[in-house]
Structure formats: structure tokens, C-alpha cells
Chains A and B, each alone.
Chain A
Amino acid sequence: MKQTIGERLFQVFNYLVLIVLASTMIAPLLHLLAVSFSSPIAADSKEVFLIPVNFTLATWEHILQNEVLWRAFGVTVFITVVGTILSMLFTIMTAFPLSRKEFLLRRPIMLIMVLTMIFNAPMIPFFLTVREVGLMDSIWSLIIPGLISTFNMVIVRTFFLGIPKDIDDAARIDGCNEFRLLFQIYLQLSKPVLATISLFYAVGYWNTFKSAVLFLRDPSLWPLQMRLRAFFTSEEQLAAVDLIMGDFDFNTTTLKAATIIFATIPIVMVYPYLQKYFVKGAVLGSIKE
């Protein structure tokens, strides 16, 4: 197909715009990475752009020796692993009956659950309920109140509905009960959607913040995001060190940059593996409401 000059110009312009915009997605992270490896004097005198100036590992040594940070990291790993497993279990066991014709109450129960997507409870009654249940200052407050995401549950149910019913009949003749039908047959057939949903849950748990703000007063239980926030705002833990030690190998600027990168690395590392799933999931979730 022949292109007019206008179209060619647009093509060039389009590539340029997209490439520049795409670089702004990654540039801030690269800049902070460079800052975290620079000397504090260089960082504060605005000399660092994308390449470290006066390269030093002191900031990272300090970060990686910070026990408080590792503790928060451990909490986050725990809620991500345990939370994702529990969420998947609850979600699957809720979605399966709702996808069965034999389940007489599927319509009313489905309606009741989907309604919660429109009618959200205000923050305070939610907070009071979680407190009443006795989850205040418990690590489980980061998991249990958000176990099922209705959005994810609907995606799984839609997928289950698409599995041909002939398989059920065959399984029943072989003497499968509902639990075995779900766990040994349906789950085997739904691997792509299960991978996607567990990814959504895992990212959600990894980024847990609001629940920690609401329910955790005890800093030793704080997940990573909450700990980062405390680092950024109070500056006390960060600044105190370089005052007391009189250590000029790092300062709050380089320490903040390093903690941001520290919290980002795990996501960036698994990101390439996630990609093939999340696009599929986002489309599944949005179009088939």
C-alpha cells in the first residue's frame, strides 16, 4: 500500500512520541537506581542523572543490613504467599457452585455477591467490623477482610461456565463427587485463568497498604509498603543513622532512592514471566462482565 507524505510523517512522529513516553515509564527508576549508587554529595548537588557519580556501595550495604526492612519484607512475603493461596481456595470454592445448574440458589447468591461491587461499605463501618471480629493488630487483618475479590470470582465463574458439560457427565459416570470434579477436572482445565487470577491476588497482597494503615498499630507487623511509607515520611530511621554515625557515605536522598529500588526489584524480576498472563486476564475481566 502506498503511503502519502502526511501518513509517513505521522508514522515517524508516532514512533518518536511512543518511544519518548515509554522511556519516561522506566527513566525515573533508572535515575533512582543511579542515585542509590552515587555518593551523597553528588546526589544532593544534582549531578546524577542516569549514571552513578562517585560510585559507592555504602548505601546498599546499609539498606541490606537494615533488620527492620527485612522484617517488613518477610511479612510481605508471608501475606503474599499465604494470602494468595487462601484467596484462590475461597474464590474457586465460591465460583464453582455458582457455575452449576444443579445449584438451586446460584442466581440469588450471585446477585448478592455482585451487588457488593456497586454498594461499597463506607470505611468506618468496615473498620469497626474488622475490629469487632478481633483482627486489630493481627497479621491476618491484611488477608482475611479481603479474601475474595468479587471481580476475580466472576472471572473464574465465567471460565467454569465455558467448560463443556459432557465432561461432567463422563466424570459422574466414573463416580466423581463435586469436590473431585472441581479439584481434579475443572482446575486442570482452567490453568491459564487460575494463573492470571493468582497473579492479580499476589500483586494485590504485595502492594498491601490501606489495610495496614487501618488495622496495624504495632510496627513489628508492618508489611513492606507500610514500612517504606514510614521511612519516607518520618525520615527518622533514615536520618538518625547518618547523624549518629557521622557517616557521610550515605544520606536520606540516597537511602530513599535505594529503598524505592529495593521494593521494586521483586516486581521487576518476576515481571517478564507475568506478562503473558496479565493481558489475557485484564481482557477476560473487563469484557465478559
Chain B
Amino acid sequence: MADQAIIEKSSKWDRVKQNRLIKNIRRHWMLYLMILPGIIFYIVFKYIPLMGSVIAFQNYQIFNGILGSPWVGLENFKMLLHYQDFHEVLRNTALIALYQLVFQFPAPIILALLFNEVRVLIVKKTVQSLFYLPHFLSWVVVGGIVFELLANQGIVNAFREMLGFEPILFMQEEAYFRSIVIISGIWKEIGWGTIIYLAAITAINPSLYEAAVIDGANRFKQTIYITLPLMLPTIAVLFLLNIGNFLELGFDQIFNLLTPMTYSVGDIIETYVYRAGVLQGQYSLTTAIGLFQSVIGFALLWIFNRLARKSEQGLW
């Protein structure tokens, strides 16, 4: 009886809520009309593809579609684990991601601290605009630049010859690929990355520095004990955002630097999924890889967010 009452009560509550919604729609129908195209966009191009991930658990066949293709459970994932290519691609992805985190992530922080020490405004402005520029070039263009500079007749080899070394075909050598990825990544994005940190530095209360000067702190000590600690929340947030996309290295960059000669060290999940999935039609298997990537990304985000929250700097 008591259950019955609760159900009745809750359904009554639902009805009240429903009425409220209908009334709200009637009164503000224009707002609902306005957002309709946006909602359709999100359903079609965000949520339907998200649901489409279920083909990782199917043996997807184009002509039968998602509804008609047979379910195979975890078969695709099991297959992956025995798959030589998968191990290589996963290792490349994780290694490049790790190098990016170690080398590329701190680069703009250091640069922002150096910018902060520049007192001549015109020098600061000029230098900054030069640093921002590469961010606006596409990876196709940056890739083209990298290939040209490192080519056999490129300028880097010209310098090597001037110093008496043999020219190297950098882009075809496995040994250099990851370094080239990291250095070109830093070159393109280091300046852009400083913008946020500079904003964080500007927000620091100047009286802190005044107090530190009275206590006898020099510029270096001010940087270590005031600027850096107060940048920490910003650094933490950006670090978390980075971690969440840990395995999503950016298709454009790798795709435009990769050659068949460097597949063994440079082929990452995204470029592999493109070749095996889009070009060769192994839809289910490559979706399983994609899903694997998303799940790892989310797990890392969740773990690091928990850690960050302990010091009250989490994303949520």
C-alpha cells in the first residue's frame, strides 16, 4: 500500500513537471525553436556516432548496417590482443604521448616565465607575435616545411655539410621520427600555449611581489616562490585536459610527417585506424581500437582528476 502511494505520488510529481515543461515550451517556444538546429546537429554528428561504437561488438557488414550485423561480443577485442600491428601501434601511441607530456607540455610554461622577465614592452610584443604565428599554419604546411628543411638538399643538411658531416635523410630514418614529432610540435604550439599562462601570471596580485622584495627576494626567488606556485591551478587544469586526450595525439600532425619507412615507430592509433578502417574497410576491428583509446583516455582523466582533487584543483 505504501509503495502504491509512493508511485502515485511520484507519477503525480512527474505530471506536474510535465505540465511545467509544456507550459514553458508554449510560453518560450521561440527559444526551443532556436536551439532545435543545434540539438539535431548534436544528435546526428555526436550521439549517433557515439552509439555507432557498438559495431566494435559486431561483425559489421556494410549492406546489413548496424541493426542487421551479427553480434560477436568481445571477439574483436580478443583478436586485437593477438594482433602484431596493434601492439606496435599502441606502443607508438603511448610513447609519443608520453614524450609530448614530458617535453611539450612544460615548454610553454618555461617560455611564459621567460616572457614575464622581459621589461621592454615593444620587444615583448614583437617576440610574442612571432611565437604565435606557427599555431595558425596547418599541419600540412608545417609538415611540408619540415620535409623541405630536412630533405637531402635541405638547409639542415647544408649546415651538416659545411661542418663536414654526411647528409642524412631524416624523414626516412626510424631513429629520428619521434624527435621530429616532438620538436615540430613544440615549434608549432609553444607560443600559443603561453597565452593562458601569461593570463594567469597577470592575475597575480602585485602586492605579493612587493612584500617579497621587502623580505629580500630577488627575481629568481620571486619566480620560484610566488609566480610558479600561483600558476599551479592553471597548470593542473591544462594537465588534466591533456591527460584526457592522452592517446589522441592529433591525426593531422602524425599523418603529415609519416612515411611508409617510419610506420614501425610512428604509426599511431589514429593513422592506423584510418588506413585499416577507412581505406581497407575493417570497420569493426578498428572501431574496437578507437573505443579502446577513448576508454583509456577517460580512465586516465578520472584517475588524475581524483589525485588533483585531493589538492583541490580538479576539473570536477
Are B32 and A129 in contact, CB atoms less than 8 angstroms apart?
no
**Interface-facing stretch out of B45-53, B84-92, B93-101, B173-181:** B45-53
Q: How far is the CA of A113 from the CA of B39 in the complex (A)?
A: 9
Assembled-state Cα–Cα distance A54/B127 (Å): 32
Known A10-B117, A43-B153, A275-B132; judge A122-B287 contact (CB<8 A): yes
Encoded as 1 (CB less than 8 Å from any A CB) or 0, chain B from 272 to 316 comes to: 011001100001001101110110001001000000000000010
Q: Are B287 and A109 within 8 A (Cβ)?
A: no
Interface contact B131-A209, CB-CB below 8 Å: no
A124-B278 in contact (CB<8A): yes
| Chain A residues whose C-beta falls within 8 Å of the C-beta of B168 in the assembled complex | none
B45 touches A178 (CB 8 A): no
Determine whether the beta carbon of B153 is less than 8 Å from that of A102: no
With the chains together, A207 CA to B251 CA distance in Å?
A: 13
A78 within 8 A of B: no
| Contact mask for chain A residues 248-278; partner B; CB cutoff 8 A; 1 contact, 0 none | 0000010011011001100110010011001
Which B residues are in CB contact (< 8 Å) with A189?
none
Within 8 A of A (CB), among B136-173: 136-141, 143-145, 147-149, 151, 153-155, 157-158, 161
Give the residue of B38, B115, B219 whose beta carbon is less than 8 angstroms from that of A93.
Answer: B38
Kindly state whether residue B129 has any CB partner on chain A within 8 Å: yes
**Known contacts A128-B52, A287-B196: A260-B148 contact under CB 8 Å:** yes
Instruction: Decide if A17 is an interface residue (CB 8 Å cutoff).
Output: yes
Partner of A25, one of B25, B187, B286: B187
Q: A123 to B290, Cβ gap below 8 A?
A: yes
Contact residues of B: prevailing secondary structure: helix
B28 at the interface (CB under 8 A from A): yes
Nearest A-chain residue to B21, judged by Cβ: A104
Chain A residues within an 8 Å CB radius of B195: 279, 282-283, 286
Check B118 for interface membership: any CB of A closer than 8 A.
yes
Chain A: residues with Cβ within 8 Å of the partner, total of 97
A177 to chain B, nearest CB (A): 6
* Among B46, B129, B255, residue most surrounded by chain A Cβ atoms (within 10 Å): B46
In the bound complex, residues from chain A placing their C-beta under 8 Å from that of B218 are 4, 6-7
Q: Mark B179-203, 1 if CB is under 8 A from A, else 0.
A: 0000000010001100110011000
Closest to A210 in B: B251
Q: Does A98 contact B (CB under 8 A)?
A: yes
Q: Which residue of A21, A129, A209 contacts B138 across the interface (Cβ within 8 Å)? A: A209
Q: Name B141's contact: one of A25, A147, A263, A279 (CB within 8 Å).
A: A263
Distance A275 CA – B218 CA, assembled complex (angstroms): 33
Docked Cα-Cα span, A27 to B249, in Å, equals 26
**Contact pattern, A 125-141, Cβ under 8 Å of B = 1, otherwise 0:** 11111100100000000
Do the beta carbons of A260 and B141 come within 8 Å of each other? yes
Beta-carbon contact of B52 and A125 below 8 Å? yes
- Give the complex CA separation of A182 and B286 in angstroms: 44
Query: Taking the nearest CB of chain A, how far is it from the CB of B67, in angstroms?
Result: 12
List residues of chain B with CB within 8 A of the CB of A259: 144
* A214 nearest CB across to chain B (Å): 6
Which chain B positions have C-beta within 8 A of A182? 34
Q: State whether the Cβ of A220 lies closer than 8 Å to any Cβ in chain B.
A: no
Contact between A119 and B298, CB atoms less than 8 A apart: yes
User: In the docked arrangement, what's the CA distance between A263 and B138, Å?
Assistant: 9
What residues of chain B lie closer than 8 Å to A32, measured between beta carbons? 145, 148
Given contacts A22-B130, A120-B248, A123-B273, contact A178 B34 (CB under 8 A): yes
A77, CB-defined interface residue at 8 Å = no
Contact of B192 among A225, A228, A282 (CB under 8 A): A282
Q: Compute how far the CA of A94 lies from the CA of B117 in the bound complex, rounded to whole angstroms.
A: 42
Q: Are B277 and A123 in contact (CB under 8 A)?
A: yes
Which residues from chain B contact A145 at a C-beta distance below 8 Å? 45
Complex CA distance for A253 and B51, rounded to whole angstroms: 47
Contacts of B123 in A (CB 8 A): 15, 18-19
B55 sits at the interface (CB 8 A): yes
A residues less than 8 Å from B106 (CB atoms): none
B103 within 8 A of A: no
In the complex, what distance in Å separates the CA atom of A110 from the CA atom of B99? 35
Q: How far is the CB of A131 from the nearest CB of chain B, in Å? A: 9
Write the nearest CB–CB distance from A224 to chain B, whole angstroms: 9
State whether A278 touches B132 (Cβ < 8 A): yes
Asked whether A75 is an interface residue with its Cβ less than 8 Å from the other chain, the reply is: no
With a cutoff of 8 Å between Cβ atoms, the chain A residues found around residue B21 in the complex are 104-105
Distance in Å: Cβ of A132 to nearest Cβ of chain B: 8
Counting chain A CB atoms within 10 Å of each CB, which of B140, B234, B315 scores highest? B140
Q: Which B residues are in CB contact (< 8 Å) with A102? A: 24, 27-28, 31
Question: Is A90 located at the chain interface by the 8 A CB criterion?
Answer: yes
**B residues near A257, Cβ cutoff 8 Å:** 148
For B267, the chain A residues whose CB sits under 8 A away are none
A-B contact list, 27 entries, CB within 8 Å = A18-B118, A22-B126, A31-B155, A46-B153, A93-B38, A100-B31, A112-B47, A119-B50, A121-B53, A122-B53, A122-B290, A123-B274, A123-B277, A124-B283, A124-B287, A144-B45, A148-B38, A153-B38, A179-B34, A210-B251, A253-B148, A256-B144, A260-B144, A263-B140, A271-B129, A283-B199, A289-B237
Shortest Cβ-Cβ A-B pairs, 6 listed = A122-B290, A125-B52, A94-B38, A121-B49, A207-B138, A46-B158
